[in-house]
Amino acid sequence: MNSLFRVARNPDPESRLPYLVWLPIEGGLVLKARDAWPRLARVFCADEATPWDDSAGLVDEAAVLICRRRGAAIDLVLDRPKLARSQFVFTNIRGRPAVWWQTQKTAQAANPAARVPRGRLPGHLTVAVDPREKYGWRFAGRDVNIQRRTLAGGDYGAVVEDEVVAVVERKTIDNLATSLSDGSLVFQMQRLAEAARSAVVVEGDYPDLFLTQAGRGSWLADMLGRLAVRYSEVPIIFAGSRKFAEEWTYRFFGAAVGDARTTPSATIEEGPGHDAV
């Protein structure tokens, strides 16, 4: 697979999208595009299983550092000093699939007044709760169907078509300190890292960790820092309270379910590097 980003003129004279964009991902993804790069505004694209054809002329080509799908978006980082970072966002317009190709500048230009959108609830969720979880969250007042089932990792899991697509390990401050002291958190993080989407959610604030065990607060914080680096794909969220830990998990599961329903199962190919756009 050639890890190159390429843009060619669309050889179809009837098309309203005059460019073809090649992304080295999922065996080669070809999009029709309204422009060759989102310089002044977001560029509308269409994903119509169009074959690659550069017979009308190649207009851009660059080596790829990162081309990675992240849920309903693809992050693209090119190996060049300018016009290097962009993102493709897969969405729907009036019920029809569409793709917006944007940079940070053009995304900001699309919302010039920096309007803050209203929060939207995730909608109906199915959440699996491990039988070992005692006195846990109930997601009261939420459209959540609770299932009791054994999870390979974590205390809670978001379920889509009987498949667990995200997991959360719930911790109180005292439980976090204990699991750091006895080494059990290492293995919990290991299991969480095997999931596609996961997190440790703490019912408390970070400064409280220093107060749990007399004289050992700094050591506990050092251990937590090491685990955060070792398992960087598993965020550790200090939510402040039980209420907001449950709230964060509900929103996290809602986003994970949305991503799981839009992310293809095909293998994602990428270049070196791990930084997101």
Give the pLDDT score at 266.
33
What is the rounded CA–CA span in Å between residue 43 and residue 94? 17
CATH number of 125-262: 3.40.50.10130
* Both tokens assigned to 214: 């007399």
66, 101, 223 from 109: Cα distances, Å: 24, 13, 43
Give the pLDDT score at 271.
32
- Token pair 């990792």 is found at 153
Give the pLDDT score at 215.
83
14, 176, 181, 191, 223 from 184: Cα distances, Å: 62, 10, 8, 11, 12
What is the rounded CA–CA span in Å between residue 185 and residue 207? 19
Give the pLDDT score at 116.
58
Give the pLDDT score at 277.
29
pLDDT tens, N- to C-terminus, the chain (277 residues): 459 999 999 999 999 999 999 999 989 999 999 999 999 999 999 999 899 999 999 999 999 999 998 878 999 999 999 999 999 999 888 888 899 999 999 888 876 655 655 666 677 999 999 999 988 999 999 999 999 999 999 999 999 999 999 999 999 999 999 999 999 999 999 999 999 899 999 999 999 999 998 888 899 999 999 999 999 999 999 999 999 999 999 999 999 998 887 665 432 233 323 233 2
Give the pLDDT score at 71.
79
The structural domains of the chain, with segments of one domain joined by +, span 4-109, 125-262
Query: How many CA atoms, within 13 angstroms, populate the side-chain half-sphere of residue 28?
Result: 11
Exposed, middle or buried: residue 78 (CB in 10 Å: 0-12, 13-18, 19+)? Answer: buried
